[in-house]
Amino acid sequence: MTAGSLPGFLPPPRALGRIALAVALVVAGLVLVLTIGVNRDDEEPPPAEPSVEAPRPEPWAAAPTPAPAAPEDRLDASDQAELDAWAEQMATRTRVPARALAAYGRAEMWMRTAAPECRLSWGTLAAIGRVESQHGRLGGAEVSANGVISPPIVGPPLDGAPGVREIPDTDGGRLDGDTRWDRAVGPMQFLPATWARWSARASRDGAPPDPQNIDDAALTAARYLCASGGDLGSPDGWWTAVLTYNQSVGYAQDVFLAAETYATGQ
């Protein structure tokens, strides 16, 4: 997420409509265009991944093509093998790391039950994961077998510097290690206040959700997107959700292009 996305606050009411949101985005976008540690000029996308190139999609005109569906969710631990096999297959097709794909795929699977009307595709989660943190590999970080990012990914302080929103600390530094300013954390770049509201433990093992765990981060992003946009299979729903995640049309276009790449394998 960006400093300007204000993910710690509730999504704008859908009743405001597309016009009101667009006006707000124009105002916010004039100042809040700097991402938290991603899409930087000194951080090139991993060369093994497909490139995301023009033409740029027209905002609100369409939703990305859904990616090939993750396995059916039968709420059975034995299905982990099926998910892992699917992730390996998709990794060959998309060149996204299989461990990250398992996290994105599981989030899609669980949202089919939790919010079937959302129609969330893992391709959108993967696209956000790519733009935000190169699937948990930003700055040389790695994703372990249990999904934990090492070293942790923590964005710069939101201290009101040029292009950055000023957000004083909201969690006593518990998640981001900063007791003065908030910072975006983890592979999906959540602010502490947003994490406190939407986080969920993907493994369902009773432990608290961890923003530095790619499984928890992907599921939390899925919950936030579905709450923000409603039906992500529709143009209105998809653009509303992604522009709530980050108030930048350019960011949403990058996510759209990456999602389309993962869906089509091109």
What tokens does 136 get? 């948990």
**Domain count within the chain:** 1
Q: Phi then psi for 219, rounded to 5 degrees? A: -65, -40
115/102 Cα distance (integer angstroms): 19
3-state DSSP: the chain helix, strand, coil percent, rounded to 5? 45, 5, 50
Tokens 């039968």 locate to 74
5 occurs within a structural domain = no
User: What percentage of the chain reaches a pLDDT higher than 90?
Assistant: 74
Tokens at residue 77, please? 């631990």
Q: Is residue 71 part of a domain?
A: no
* 149 within some domain: yes
Question: pLDDT tens digits for 90-133?
Answer: 999 999 999 999 999 999 999 999 999 999 999 999 999 999 99
CA–CA distance, 243 with 255 (Å, rounded to integer): 10
Residues in CB range of 26: below 8 A, 6 or more apart: none
Q: Is residue 14 part of a domain?
A: no
Q: What is the pLDDT of residue 45?
A: 43
Half-sphere exposure at residue 170, Cβ-oriented, CA atoms within 13 angstroms: 19
Give the tens place of pLDDT for each residue, 175-191: 999 999 999 999 999 99
- The average pLDDT across 3-11 equals 38
CA dist 69 and 263 (Å) reads 10
The boundaries of the domain holding residue 139 are 79-264
Distance, CA of 262 to CA of 32 (rounded, Å) = 28
Q: What is the pTM of this model?
A: 0.83
Taking the mean position of all CA atoms in its chain, how far away is CA 29? 19
Q: What's the confidence (pLDDT) of residue 50? A: 52
Query: Does residue 136 belong to any structural domain of this protein?
Result: yes
Contact 100, 130 (CB under 8 A): no
